[in-house]
Structure 1
Amino acid sequence: MTEVNIDLPTAEADVLRSAKRLSVLRSAVIDLPAPDLDLRDITEIAADLFDAPVGLLTLVDERDQWFKAATGTDQTRASSEASFCVHTISGGLQDAFIVNDATRDPRFSKQPQVSGAPFLRFYAGVPLVIEEQPIGTLCVFDVKPHDTVTDRQIVQLQRLSKLAAHMLKLKHEAHQRALKEAVLTREEQRHAMALDAANIGSWLWDVRSGNVSCNAAMLRMFGMQHSGVVQARDIFTAIHPDDRVATLSKLRSAMAQNDEYDGTFRVAPSGRWLLGRGRVHERDANGKPTLFLGINIDVTEQQVSTQRTRLLLRELNHRVKNTLAMLQSLARQTLRQTSDPQEFMTAFAGRLQSISEAHGLLSDHEWGEIHLSALLARQLMPHVRDYQKQIEIHKDEILLGPDQAVGLGLVLHELATNAAKYGSLSVYNGKIVLTARSVDEDGRKVLHMTWTEVGGPPVSEPTRRGFGTILIERSLDKVMGSSVKVEYLSAGLTALIRLPL
């Protein structure tokens, strides 16, 4: 079946190049050249029906006709314009095209496949119709003329063509479904991977059977084996007893009122907090819920953070009350010691700054414990020129709680202020020697600290006790068992501090 250029009549050319026909052809059959062995039986039946050696199921585009299935030939394509089939598709959708003897038909007698090998003589074909468009043919060829073709043969050929068209449509629909399923599978896999990466547990509860289908993240949250399906009662049992009743109540309410379920609960085995959300996905004919779809998110860190924030706020509220009471007392006592407003502001501002520094350290550590070394640096640095040279420290590693830190901060501030005005820090070569040891007294840790001023001017005990001295001695009153003793030695002031930790 050699290719040849033929000038087609206008009607045949219009059908051959019809945009609508070609659109249906290419959408219905993705791969035109690829043979389809499932359709070969139809071509064999067609050939047997006419007692012909060749049976073809062809798909005809604007240039080529492709033999989708063939019996009696190994050829897979031929020119559309030089084909018998172009005349078949240009006729009526239900019409058969018959050529009893091609040598006597002027349309075909001079074509190479008629005048030469394989010396075709007989042709019978009917359109292959999909969506009311002739996309190809079911046809037979013979090298011998056929005098007659019966109505029964034509009807049977038409039935075979409809069967072939139906099979092509089914294959196309199956291919489209496979593509959609592949896309859906990829989406499901992507969603599953995203949920797992985000540690979000997803679940589908079959209310009637009690089965819960869930992902790996959900199973991990409840400490269950990776079987994929668990019983709802096992999940409910895993909820912490203190949260179980409220959680089940919210679930029932969401199911009854068609609301969204939203609840936070703990998992008993691990103690972790989960946020659950979901709603009824399907109901039966009576309106009863059959499927419940939801997710769980691990919110343990948020819950711990919230609880910690509440504790810190309570602690801060307590500290603010204590601090305000302390400030009121400081203000009154400072005011009693001086009638000069500027002197009052200077003294009071220094003490206020001391409390502020201690509060700042405690706030940085969420009102937990702070290191003694940090408190010493905050309180003493404002009063020295060179901290490393003027402050000599010998200490153990000691942690202070809030009450200890605020009280000891005030003591250190008063001692440093006094040393800067009158003591060792008032001269260039003076310094402070601090020793701080943690001593075990009857099973309890106690801080023993000694403040010794070295290299300062001679010291004599004052004739009256000022507010600074009173403040030094009483700043630790809130800590039971604490004491501060100040000794005015001639070589320099010494303070002995005892503070239970």
Structure 2
Amino acid sequence: MQDDRTNAINIAEDSDNGAHRRGPRDADFDRLASLAATLMTAPAALLTLADAHGRQIVQAHVGTSAAEALGLAERFLASDPAEARDRTFLLHAGAPIVASGRTVGALLVLDGGERPAPDLDKLEQLQDIAALAGSLVVLRDRSQAGARAEAALFHAETRRAIALEAAALASWVWDPRTGVVECDTLLPELFNMPSAATMRARDIVVAIDRRDIGKTRKIFQEALKGSDDYSGEYRIRGFDPPRWLAARGRVVERDADGRPTLVFGVNYDITERRSAEERQRLLLREINHRVKNTLATVQALATQTVRHAREPREFLDAFSQRLRALGLAHGLLSEYEWRGIGIRDLARLELSPFDDAESPRIAAIGPDALLSADQTLGLALILHELASNALKYGALSVPAGKVAVSWTVKGSAGDKQLELEWVESGGPKVSPPAHHGFGSILIRRSLAKVISSEVTHEFPAEGVRAHISMPLGETLEA
């Protein structure tokens, strides 16, 4: 009998990996254990299966308590045949449980005493019951694998949805045969349509700005005819400034005749990117325009400076300082993308080289106001020339001298005027110049490009004065 048990089961476990626990109840395995006991007219039966670590567990039992079933399983599956004897039960018959070509457990029929070995028919029937148990194991594993795959698919779909949402991507699936587009909730929003889970392709086409529809249709038709991949950008009707969308799609299925049957794709908002590109183009055009004007200004500065200079050193000093003043204004305009700068920033930038930070002698006071690019460059040269003259001949040429620069903004929105005063005091007594040098010419003519501007330059005995008047666009907040 012991040899029959060993040959029939052939899954002897060592003492460390024996059956030490009861598996979860399963009605199907319980029925098979009961059927085996009935087949052999035996009082008890056990069905054991290997767990994930290869240890045999009691999956079903009849005719014994749970605690007793655990002990019996350990004895009958021990590698030492002597351990298989028990005063209450002896092994009557057994069959291995095989799943996917691998032995995963055993079906054991127990009796209370010695009895003749079962005939071959019953042993074959017992093996059939064990085979059913093996089939149940395979089905259970496949079911669990399917559940894991379904869970993995759900997690992947969740990650995809989160990624699309985070990237503000609207996904869609289009069936060209029906014209129906299945989509997420973001797609109708991008096309300025009511929320929906499906849309009609022709409604999407109608929503595209007519300036872009011809090019968009052509590119899309090329993808449908054979290139498969589609990529385009277009504006949406009803937005000012325009809303720009990008679309990326791919034909993923075709019928036997090559006609597309399924197209996947995404749309996303690129308005900010297109606006940035447009600003960049405008900035480049402005820079090109300014560079030409600046070159012309530099050429004029060089020509006039050398004409009024008495020696090369005087020319180099005067020209380099005027270039520096122009360069400072250019640098500030570049930082603000040539959209204009505040007069406070300009005054601080151009006058600081002529002042002493520890003991200031130049006071600049007034509300901030936005200067255009032409106003910025013109006023920069004027402030530089006034400060340079004050340092050489006027108030800044003596320790006690001071300069007050003040300005006001007059008028209402759309008709504002900047009035700037330059007043020197505490310097040497002023005498009107016998002839006007190039610096004086720059002061009077630097704003010639600014329409309705006016510059006066006076030389009273108590100190040089200048008055500048020019139109403004807007006043900046303090």
Normalising by structure 1, report the TM-score. 0.80
Kindly tell me: are residues 207 and 252 of structure 1, through their superposed partners in 2, closer, same or farther at Cα, counting changes over 3 Å?
Answer: same
What is residue 444 of structure 1 aligned with on the other side?
Answer: 415
Partner of 2:258, secondary structure, is: coil
Within 1, Cα distance between the matches of 2:281 and 2:195? Answer: 37
Q: Distance in 1 between matches of 2:13 and 2:154?
A: 37
Maintained 8 Å contact 2:9/2:95: no
Matches within 5 A, 1:226-241: 228-241=197-210
Secondary structure at 1:489's aligned position in 2? coil
Give me the whole-angstrom Cα distance separating, in 2, the residues matched to 1:376 and 1:418. 16
> Which residue of 45, 53, 59 corresponds with 1:68?
59
Task: Indicate which of 12, 16, 20 corresponds to 2:11.
Answer: 16
* CA spacing shift, 1:385–1:211, aligned 2, 3 Å: same
Number of equivalent positions:
463
Match of 2:402 among 423, 426, 431: 431
Whole-angstrom CA distance in 2 between matches of 1:65 and 1:403? 91
Q: Which residue of 1 aligns with 2:35?
A: 45
Cα pair 1:65 1:78 within 8 Å, conserved: no
Cα deviation per residue 1:207-254 (whole Å; 9 max; x = unaligned)?
444444444555654456665544444444443443333333323322
Q: For residues 438-481 of structure 1, what are the alpha-carbon distances to aligned partners after superposition, in whole Å with 9 as ceiling and x for unaligned?
A: 22289621222222211111112122222222221111110112
Structure 1 residue 395, shift from structure 2 partner:
2.2
Secondary structure, counterpart of 2:464 in structure 1: strand
Determine if the alignment matches structure 1 residue 33 to structure 2 residue 23. Answer: yes
List aligned pairs for 1:75-474, cutoff 5 A: 75=66, 76-79=69-72, 82-83=75-76, 112-113=85-86, 116-117=87-88, 123-143=92-112, 153-215=122-184, 218=187, 221-222=190-191, 228-268=197-237, 271-386=242-357, 389-440=360-411, 444-474=415-445
Offset from partner CA, 1:5-32 (integer Å, 9 cap, x none): x99899759943599xxx9x99xxxx97
Relative distance call for 1:112 and 1:63 in structure 2 (3 A) is farther
Deviation at 1:145, TM superposition (A): 7.5
Tell me the secondary structure at the aligned position of residue 58 of structure 1: strand
**CA distance, structure 2, for counterparts of residue 307 and residue 11 of structure 1:** 85
CA displacement 1:282-306 (0-9 Å, x = unmatched): 3333333233223334333322221
TM superposition shift of 1:384: 2.5
Structural RMSD (CA): 3.8
8 A Cα contact 2:8 2:94, kept in partner: no
**1:133–1:365 distance in 2 versus 1, CA, 3 Å:** closer
Contact 2:333–2:340 (Cα < 8 Å) also in 1: yes
SS in 2 for 1:16: coil
Corresponding residue for residue 102 of structure 1: none
Gaps of 5+ in 2: 473-478
Give 1:104's aligned residue: none
Task: Give the equivalent residue in structure 2 for 1:488.
Answer: 459
Q: CA deviation at 1:38?
A: 2.4
State the distance in 2 between where 1:332 and 1:136 align.
104
CA distance in 2, matches of 1:167, 1:9: 25
1:92 maps to none
Report Cα offsets for 1:101-149 as digits up to 9, x if no partner: xxxxxx89x9654xx335x5x8344332223344333454455887796
1:98 corresponding residue in structure 2: none
TM-score (structure 2 length as normaliser): 0.83
The equivalent of 2:47 in structure 1 is 57
Which stretch shifts more, 330-339 or 361-370? Answer: 330-339
More divergent stretch after superposition (37-46 vs 476-485): 37-46
CA 1:455 to 1:284, structure 2 compared with 1: closer, same or farther past 3 Å? Answer: same
The aligned amino acid for 1:16 is: I
AA matched with 1:312: L
Instruction: Write the distance in 2 (CA, Å) between the matches of 1:365 and 1:428.
Output: 36
8 Å Cα contact 2:100-2:138 kept in structure 1: no
Deviation by residue 1:357-385 (Cα, 9 ceiling, x = unmatched): 11111111111121111111122222233
Q: Percent identity?
A: 39
Return the letter of the residue paired with 2:32: I
Deviations 1:170-189 (A, max 9, x none): 11111122223323322332
SS at 2:411 equivalent: strand
What one-letter code is carried by the residue in structure 2 that aligns with 1:191? R
Q: State the alpha-carbon separation in 2 of the partners of residues 211 and 374 from structure 1.
A: 59
Residues 207, 66 of structure 1: CA spacing in aligned structure 2 closer, same or farther, 3 A cutoff? same
